[in-house]
Every structure is written in C-alpha cells, then in structure tokens.
Amino acid sequence: MKILRARFVTLARLGVVAILGLSASCTAPSSPGTSSSNPGTRDTFVLGLASEPDTLNPVLGYEPDGGSLLFDGLVRRNADLTLAPALAERLPDVKGTTVTFTLRQGVRFHDGTPLTSDDVAYTYQAVLDPKNNSGIRGDYTAIESVEAPDPATVVFHLKHPYAPILQRATLGIVPRRLLQGQSLDKAAFNTKPVGTGPYRFVSWTPGDKVVLEANQSYWGGAPAIKRLVMAYSADDNVRATRMAAGEFDATELPPKAAARFEDQVGLTVYKVPSADYRGVMFPLDAPVTGDKAIRKALSLALDRSAMVGAILAGAGRPAFGPVAPGTTWHNPAVDGTPTPDRDQAARLLDQAGWKPGSGGVRVKDGTPASFTLMYPAGDSLRKDLALAVASDAKKIGVDVRLAGLDWDAIEPRMAKDALIMGYGSPYDPDYINYEMFHSSFSGQGFFNPGHYKEPDVDALLEKGRAETDPTVRKQTYDALQQRIRDDEVWTYLVYLQHVYVVRGKWTGIAPAVEAHEHATGGLFRTLAEWKPAA
C-alpha cells in the first residue's frame, strides 16, 4: 500500500482498524470522556472517528488540505472556503510563476524552536523529492522550486502559472531539523510529530487512539479544550453505540446511524453539505465493465432518489459527476434524472448486442452481463449502496455480485472488479480530478484505479490547472465533466451530507461545505475554537 494509501486513508477509505475500547482513563465513570450534559466542564474531549491515519507526517500525506490540529499551513480556510493567512502574514499576490510569502513573526514549533522559511522550503521540497515517494507529490508538481532568501521570506517558483497554488498552501509545515537527511518512510516523526498547530502530540496507541494536548503558546490563542482524544473505530454501529454510552463527546456517523440521536436532550446532530460523492468505479479494461453500453445502461437503471431517501435518510442528493452541484465549478448539463429509465437502459443494451439470456442475465458473444462490485465491509453506507446497485441492475438483466472486503483485499482487485468508492472536493476542480482521470496516474493505487486513458481528457486537465483566466477555466472544466459523463467513467450515485453528533452546547462550531475527508478536516477542524456555551 504504503504511500498512496496513506493519502487515501485521509481522503477516502475511512480506515480499517481494530475496534478497541478506550483506556480506563477515558471510560471510567469518574474520568474525563464520560457522559455529561456539559463536556466543557472537563479537561478532556473524546472524538469517535472512523479512520486512523497511517502517518502523522504532512509530507507523506497527513491532512494536506488543512484539517490537522497538529500543524498549520501558510494559509487556512474560512467557513465559506475563502482563504486566510495562517503561518503567512498575509495572502500574497499570485501573478505569473513567482509567488512570495512573508511569514508571521514569533511562531514556534511545539518543542519551542522558532519557525523559519527554511522549514517551509524543506516541507515542500520533501514532498517533491521522488526519494520520499509522497502520495501527494502529484498535487504539487507545478512547483519548480522553493527558496528561503531570508528567515521570514519564502519564494515559490512555478513551472507554469498554476491557479490553485494558494489552495495548495494549506499543507502543514514540518521542522526541517527533525527530518532532513532521514529516510522519511522510517522517520520517528511519522508517529511522534512536532508542529505549530493548536494541539501538540502526546501519544498514539495504534488501533485505538491518538492523544493531544492544547498548545498553550499557540499564536492563534490557546484552545479551551485542554486534552483531546481521537478514538478510532471503523464500524459505524460501534461508534453509535459508544456515543450513546457516553464514551464519546462527538462522532461522525452515517445518516441512518445518527437518526437515533435526533431530539435527544444534551445532543446535537449536525448535517453538513459536502462535495463528497459515492459512486461505482469501473475497471475499464475488464470484459463487461469495459463496455460503455453496460456502464451507461446501469446509470439509467439506478433509482438515485430512492438511495437518497432510504439509505441517506434524506441527508444528500443524487450525483452524476465529480464536481458537486452548488459549487462554482459544477456543470449542470451533466445532471440526469434521479429516477430510473429502465426502458431506455434495456434499449441501449439491446442495441449493443447484450441480449436476454437464461436466468434473466443478458449475454453478448457468450459472455454474461455479470461483474463483481466490491465495497469495504465495515462501511454500512457503502454496503447499502452496493445492495441498491445490484438490485436495480438485476431489473435490466445485469448480474452484479457483491463482495464485502477489507482494503488490503480490495486494492489488488481494482483493475478487474468494480468498487463503491468515494472522493470529492469543493476547493478547486484540479483537486482529485487530475489524479482520478489523467492517464499518468492510471493504476497508481487508489488514483485512476479503472485505468482511464484519453489524450483529450489529459489535455483538458493540463489546461485547467495552468489556465489563470477564471472564465476559460470554467469552460475547460465544464468540458471535462461532460466528457467524464459521456464516457461513464464512473457511475456516480449520491452526494452526502456529513453527519455528526455532538454532546453539549458549544460556540465556535462553523459548518462549511466539506471535502471527502471529514474526520478532523470536517466539522471538527475548528475544535481549537470551540468553547462551552454559557
């Protein structure tokens, strides 16, 4: 797996970890972390999260989009997704191929050493260094070099004008002196990090929890929550049970699992809009799913409205492409009808030579219209979506066999078996889409796992990231979305609302349109600003 999956854990997999209880210090009735109508009266706040990262090193892919509580980037995102200075003193002008940042004065790492421009330059250089095999390297390839002419100044030299460069400046900055000259895949820093963020690292018990404590010297002000436990449990039902038992002060849950907490005294359910989609990723070199007629017929046959109503309990909307409706870059021309058109689906299959066969399964040239659809076994929402896809496909004579597997079993099978996958970002259309659809990423782990290779699509992706005119960029990404829809590279199912349950009343909670990763990068990204409500 290692490096590509390190990114995918944060972005996509909602990881597979052992389901272990919290230590006694977090579960004993008289200890922090137990049920209380006012968690703010205690020092410890316990988060129940689905995904455990493989690394806590930003260079290797930990929370590069600004969701970390351990690290700061040069910039941060406001609730409306606009950018604001963080380690940078102000937002720089972005013109041409040179971008210059001036650092905020007086910032120190958690070990007391001062932040300098050498740390910033090293962080980006380390991501770009092929020897480090960073899973996020492809996001930063527009950067030619980064230099530090003086301790407070960082200069980025770009290979070409790159519209999303400020969006990429949310990457957490690491201390050069603790990492330079090491083999990063084996660095102690990966499990014992030192950052500049509002929380400092205390401990990590793999398969169980990470413990953080407030950075009392934080440049943005010390957090009100003094001790933070991020407890990992991949099973949705287990997290719901532990939330009900008072072991968690907040957790992330699928909509159906969160329904039990609606209208409970002392609890608040937050439903946050997102650009996070679920869809069927097709292996395009496989005999059945490689046929566009199969893919397009399946899309026509699906009842997306029923998926939103029954599986998401209304907390979402139908999906038809990789750019979310309601965001600046969405092309509404790709949106289809959320109710099925199975007559049209059947006609399409007939025309393509897929004729009704024995047992109700269509056949073409002796090959049955049958394929395997995988889903992560511990993810109840993806399982339900897979069941719905199989049920609707059967109605048009396509046999979809389901396989609930762990991610170690799923990864090597993606070139031949379909998969219920999730991705999505509201930040910039270059995000995710370049890795998902550019031929240079074909078969690179969870990037472009279906092996999509189209030169004209590559050209659109390359033009979109280099173009600086917003109007031309919009036209370029509109064309990209239409091409992805025409080729039915994926069959998109639903866009989610991310659902959280929080105990007690707090100020400082600031919901925003979220990306796929929604652990500490979602509603919890502002935990350092949460304060008990009066």
Backbone angles phi, psi at 96, to 5 degrees: 65, -135
pLDDT at 379: 87
Q: Where are the alpha helices (DSSP H) in 144-212?
A: none
Give the DSSP letter string of 435-461.
HHH-GGGTTBTTBSTT----HHHHHHH
H or E element, residue 485: helix 470-487
Distance CA(434)–CA(457), nearest Å, equals: 10
Yes or no: say if 289 and 371 are a contact pair by the CB < 8 Å rule: yes
**Residue whose C-alpha is closest to residue 490's, from 424, 445, 425:** 424
Give the DSSP letter string of 314-360.
TSEEE--SSS-TTSTT--GGG---SS--HHHHHHHHHHTT-B--GGG
- Which is higher by pLDDT, 3 or 190? 190
Amino acid at 178: L
pLDDT of residue 14 exceeding 60, the answer is no
pLDDT at 475: 98
pLDDT at 530: 96
pLDDT at 94: 87
Question: Exposure string (b/e) for 356-384, b if CB count within 10 Å is 16 or more?
Answer: ebeeeebbbeeebbebbbbbbbbbbbbbb
In terms of residues, how long is the chain? 534
Yes or no: say if 122 and 178 are a contact pair by the CB < 8 Å rule: no
pLDDT at 138: 84
- Per-residue pLDDT of 56-82, as tens digits, reads 999 999 999 888 999 999 999 988 888
- Per-residue pLDDT of 455-511, as tens digits, reads 999 999 999 988 888 999 999 999 999 999 999 999 999 999 999 999 999 999 998
pLDDT at 13: 32
Distance CA(194)–CA(36), nearest Å, equals: 32
What is the percent of the chain with per-residue pLDDT over 90, rounded to a whole number?
79
Q: CB count, 10 Å around CB of 475?
A: 16
Arithmetic mean of pLDDT, 151-172: 94
H or E element, residue 257: helix 255-258
Mean pLDDT, the chain, rounded, equals: 90
Q: Using CB atoms within 10 Å of the CB of residue 124, give its burial: 0 to 12 exposed, 13 to 18 middle, 19+ buried.
A: buried
- Per-residue pLDDT of 338-381, as tens digits, reads 999 999 999 999 999 999 998 999 999 999 999 999 999 988 89
pLDDT band at 324 (very low <50, low <70, confident <90, very high): very high
Distance CA(297)–CA(342), nearest Å, equals: 8
pLDDT at 516: 85
DSSP assignment letter at 310? I
Distance CA(155)–CA(177), nearest Å, equals: 20
- Which is higher by pLDDT, 370 or 328? 370
Residues in Cβ contact with 186 at an 8 Å cutoff, skipping those fewer than 6 apart: none
Q: CB count, 10 Å around CB of 10?
A: 28
Q: Domains plus CATH for the chain?
A: 58-198 (3.90.76.10), 273-496 (3.10.105.10)
Residues in Cβ contact with 263 at an 8 Å cutoff, skipping those fewer than 6 apart: none
Residues in Cβ contact with 241 at an 8 Å cutoff, skipping those fewer than 6 apart: none
pLDDT band at 521 (very low <50, low <70, confident <90, very high): low
Give the β-pairing of 250-253 and 267-281.
unpaired
Give the DSSP letter string of 265-300.
TTEEEEEEEEEEEEEEE--TTSTTTT-HHHHHHHHH
- Per-residue pLDDT of 215-271, as tens digits, reads 999 999 999 999 999 999 988 899 999 999 999 999 999 888 999 999 999 999 999
**Residue whose C-alpha is closest to residue 219's, from 109, 93, 327:** 109
Tokens coding 349: 């299959």
Distance CA(480)–CA(455), nearest Å, equals: 12
pLDDT at 163: 86
pLDDT at 38: 54
pLDDT at 39: 53
> To which residue do tokens 């959280």 refer?
500
HEC string of 65-130 equals CCCCCCCCCCEEECCCCCEEECCECCCCCCECCEEEEEECCCCECCCCCECCHHHHHHHHHHHHCH
- Per-residue pLDDT of 173-214, as tens digits, reads 999 999 999 999 899 999 999 999 999 999 999 999 999 999
pLDDT of residue 20 exceeding 50, the answer is no
pLDDT of residue 33 exceeding 50, the answer is no
